[in-house]
C-alpha cells in the first residue's frame, strides 16, 4: 500500500526489491519538485534569488529535458522529443532554463509532467526487456554505456540536488519551507 505524505509525495516502500526501491525514491523526488512548484504564480515561477539565475520554471523545464535525455535518448538511443527540436544549445547552452522564463506556468508544469510520464513508460519498457543491469543503447564519447541502475540512481541524485535549489527559491517566493 502506497503511503502519501502531507505534501502529496508517495513514500518509498521500506521493504521491497531493488527496482521498486529505486523507482519509489525517484517518484518521491519528482513529487518533491512538484510540491515546491505547486501553487506558484507566474511571477514566482521566474523569481531569482541571490546571485543565481535559477528559477522554479527553469528547474521544471531543465528536468523535462533531463528526463528525455536519460530515459529516451540515452537509454533507448532515440531522437530528442519534439519539445526540444527548436533548441539551439550552441547559441545558448542554458536554452531550456531561459526558454522557461517565457512560458506560462501551467505550460511548463504540463511539459514536465508529460516528460515524467513518458520516462516511466521508457523505464517500464526497459525493465520488461532486460532489468537493471542492462546497458543503455546510447554511449558516452569513450564508448561506455551506463546501466539502467546507474541512470536511475543518477536521476535520483539530479532531482535531490535540484530540489535543494527549489527549496531556496520557494522560500524566497512566498516563505514556504519544508524538507
> How high does pLDDT run on average in the chain?
96
Domain of 122 in residue numbering reads as 65-82+93-179
In a domain, 37, yes or no: no
Percent of the chain topping pLDDT 70: 100
- Indicate if the pLDDT at residue 86 is higher than 90: no
- What is the rounded average pLDDT of the residues 61-67? 98
In a domain, 158, yes or no: yes
In a domain, 35, yes or no: no
Residue 50: which pLDDT band, with cuts at 50, 70 and 90? Answer: confident
Question: Which value, to the nearest 10 degrees, does the dihedral of the CA atoms of residues 157, 105, 124, 135 take?
Answer: -40
In a domain, 22, yes or no: no
In a domain, 5, yes or no: no
Domain count, the chain: 1
In a domain, 167, yes or no: yes
Taking the model in full, what pTM does it have? Answer: 0.94
In a domain, 128, yes or no: yes
In a domain, 136, yes or no: yes
- Indicate if the pLDDT at residue 5 is higher than 90: yes
Interhelix angle 105-129/56-67, rounded to 10 degrees, is 30
Amino acid at each position: 500500500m502506497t503511503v502519501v505524505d502531507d505534501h502529496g509525495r508517495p513514500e518509498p516502500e521500506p521493504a521491497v526489491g531493488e527496482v521498486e526501491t529505486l523507482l519509489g525514491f525517484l517518484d518521491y523526488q519528482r513529487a518533491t519538485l512538484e510540491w515546491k512548484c505547486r501553487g506558484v504564480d507566474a511571477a514566482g515561477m521566474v523569481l531569482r534569488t541571490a546571485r543565481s539565475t535559477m528559477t522554479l520554471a527553469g528547474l521544471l523545464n531543465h528536468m523535462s529535458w533531463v528526463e528525455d535525455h536519460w530515459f529516451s535518448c540515452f537509454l533507448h538511443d532515440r531522437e530528442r522529443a519534439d519539445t526540444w527540436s527548436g533548441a539551439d544549445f550552441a547559441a545558448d547552452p542554458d536554452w531550456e532554463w531561459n526558454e522557461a522564463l517565457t512560458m506560462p506556468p501551467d505550460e511548463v508544469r504540463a511539459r514536465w509532467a508529460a516528460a515524467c510520464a513518458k520516462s516511466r513508460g521508457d523505464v517500464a519498457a526497459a525493465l520488461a526487456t532486460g532489468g537493471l543491469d542492462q546497458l543503455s543503447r546510447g554511449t558516452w564519447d569513450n564508448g561506455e554505456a551506463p546501466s539502467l541502475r546507474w541512470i536511475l540512481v543518477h536521476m535520483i541524485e539530479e532531482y535531490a540536488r535540484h530540489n535543494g535549489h527549489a527549496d531556496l527559491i520557494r522560500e524566497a517566493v512566498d516563505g514556504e519551507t519544508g524538507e
